[in-house]
């Protein structure tokens, strides 16, 4: 019987990580797509996006529970991604290389194992053996060629487009840039997420300020923030302060960028200013309720006050 792409992923993920099914069925995110003007502009936006993704995670952290219990994380959703499939998830260190460009990302994508190939209305499973898009494109490693696919079949641009959708780094490059670090949250704050990134990256001066902010961060800083932020969000210790200190700078840069655009968008980041000033995120409020008025139950989260 033909498999869907989701069935292929569902069967494969437990073989390469412990939390892939949590990602598929028990997590919710909101993502933002950002345009770029040139390869250099893409380079800068990818670097800023990759470096500051933990700040977005901290500001929008809203997933402290699993199975009706506290997880010990303020963004369980973000933590889940640390053990889904390390071939295709996480930080991409080469993004911070001065030589980073389209070719670097293509080389990375070519060597990520494939999930499937869409052929004659069916999804052909490529996960039984390690089979990369480079193998497919060059017609090599025939012993790993997925069964159910004609031997004469060669890669085409649609296959490439499908493959790019199966890569899950913190920031994903296609014909646009996907920012992937935020939890889903209240309807009234959804516009805060695109406003944050537009303010940072759609104004030349703001983008330059954001690049300057992260210019001396080392790879161990990026790895540390990616690993620690899901647990402690804005209270994450960093560089003699907390991530809330960085968040205040980031939100201020974004606000200035939005003001410079002259489209009266700066009001959308007001909730983020409040989070950064107090050092508290949505998860902090939920945990206080769980330990207090909710008396250890998550049932009230399904009330109209929290179903947004």
- Does 129 reside within a domain? no
- Does 108 reside within a domain? no
**Domain count for the chain:** 1
Query: Six-digit token pair at 172?
Result: 């994903």
The stretch 149-158 carries a mean pLDDT of 89
pTM over 0.85: yes
Query: 283: domain CATH number?
Result: 3.30.590.20
Beta bridge partners of 37: none
CB atoms within 10 A of CB 25: 9
Smallest CA-to-CA distance from 4 within 116, 120, 167, 159 is with 116
Q: At what angle do helices 39-59 and 204-214 cross, to 10 degrees?
A: 70
Smallest CA-to-CA distance from 235 within 289, 292, 278, 185 is with 278
pLDDT in tens, 180-236: 999 999 988 999 999 999 999 999 999 999 999 999 999 999 999 999 999 999 999
For 53, the enclosing helix (H) or strand (E) is helix 39-59
1: confidence class by pLDDT, cuts 50, 70, 90: low
CA 237 → CA 63, 93, 204, 221, 228, distances in Å? Answer: 20, 22, 30, 11, 9
d(CA 16, CA 20): 8
CB atoms within 10 A of CB 39: 11
Question: Is 275's pLDDT higher than 60?
Answer: yes
Question: Is 27's pLDDT higher than 60?
Answer: yes
The stretch 270-288 carries a mean pLDDT of 98
Beta bridge partners of 120: none
Contact (CB, 8 A) for 84 and 20: yes
Query: Six-digit token pair at 238?
Result: 């960093």
Q: At what angle do helices 270-278 and 39-59 cross, to 10 degrees?
A: 60
Domain that holds residue 287: 29-78+172-302
Catalogue the E-assigned strands of 218-289: 237-238, 241-242
- Does 221 reside within a domain? yes
Residue 116 CA from chain centroid, whole number: 22
Query: Six-digit token pair at 231?
Result: 């647990």
Query: Six-digit token pair at 184?
Result: 């889903």
Contact (CB, 8 A) for 56 and 227: no
The stretch 114-140 carries a mean pLDDT of 93
The stretch 267-279 carries a mean pLDDT of 98
Contact (CB, 8 A) for 239 and 23: no
- Does 24 reside within a domain? no
The stretch 111-129 carries a mean pLDDT of 94
- Does 243 reside within a domain? yes
Catalogue the E-assigned strands of the chain: 32-34, 65-66, 69-70, 89-90, 116-119, 122-125, 168-169, 171-173, 177-179, 237-238, 241-242
Contact (CB, 8 A) for 134 and 109: no
**Pairing between β-strand 168-169 and β-strand 89-90 as defined by DSSP bridges:** parallel
């Amino acid at each position: 019987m033909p498999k869907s792409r989701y069935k292929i992923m569902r069967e494969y993920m437990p073989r390469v990580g412990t939390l892939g099914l949590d990602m598929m069925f028990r997590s919710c995110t909101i993502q933002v797509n950002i345009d770029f003007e040139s390869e250099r502009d893409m380079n800068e936006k990818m670097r800023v996006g990759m470096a500051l993704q933990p700040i977005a995670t901290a500001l929008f952290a809203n997933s402290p529970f699993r199975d009706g219990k506290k997880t010990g994380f303020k963004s369980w959703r973000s933590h889940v991604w640390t053990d889904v499939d390390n071939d295709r998830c996480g930080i991409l260190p080469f993004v911070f290389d001065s030589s980073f460009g389209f070719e670097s990302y293509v080389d990375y994508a070519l060597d990520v194992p494939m999930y499937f190939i869409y052929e004659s209305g069916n999804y052909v499973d490529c996960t039984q053996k390690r089979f990369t898009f480079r193998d497919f494109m060059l017609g090599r490693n025939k012993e790993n060629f997925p069964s159910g696919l004609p031997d004469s079949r060669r890669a085409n641009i649609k296959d490439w487009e499908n493959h790019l959708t199966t890569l899950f780094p913190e920031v994903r490059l296609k014909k646009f840039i996907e920012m992937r670090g935020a939890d889903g949250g209240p309807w009234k704050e959804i516009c805060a997420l695109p406003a944050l990134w537009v303010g940072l990256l759609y104004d030349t001066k703001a983008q330059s300020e954001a690049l300057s902010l992260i210019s001396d961060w080392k790879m161990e800083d990026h790895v540390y923030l990616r690993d620690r932020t899901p647990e402690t969000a804005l209270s994450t210790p960093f560089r003699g302060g907390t991530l809330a200190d960085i968040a205040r700078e980031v939100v201020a840069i974004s606000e200035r960028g939005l003001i410079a655009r002259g489209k009266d968008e700066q009001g959308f980041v007001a909730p983020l200013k409040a989070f950064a000033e107090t050092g508290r995120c949505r998860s902090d409020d939920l945990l206080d309720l769980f330990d207090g008025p909710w008396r250890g139950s998550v049932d009230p989260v399904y009330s109209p006050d929290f179903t947004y």
